[in-house]
Amino acid sequence: MEHLDLTPYRCPEPLIMVKLWLRQATPGQALAISLADPGSRRDIPAYLTRQGHAVVLCQQTPARLQLQLTVGEPPCC
């Protein structure tokens, strides 16, 4: 499983980096994501869920959020 450490970055960079990663991802591929920026910690899980990807919260502290993303099937039609 790949790991994307986005803790040094502030919004909107983490979301842009996740979107770039998703462009080359295949359905079923997994990615661990680490986030520190409060806006990204809120927005990225919501965005991924809206896009049909599976998101599992692995660890959450006041300073850091760790997620596991499993890429979903792209929407048809």
Which positions are annotated as active-site residues?
Answer: 11
Locate all alpha helices (DSSP H) within 1-77, ordered by sequence: 13-24, 38-50
Q: Dihedral angle at the C-alpha atoms of 25, 70, 34, 64, nearest 10 degrees?
A: 150
For residue 20, what are its two tokens?
């770039």
The Cα 49–Cα 65 span in angstroms is 16
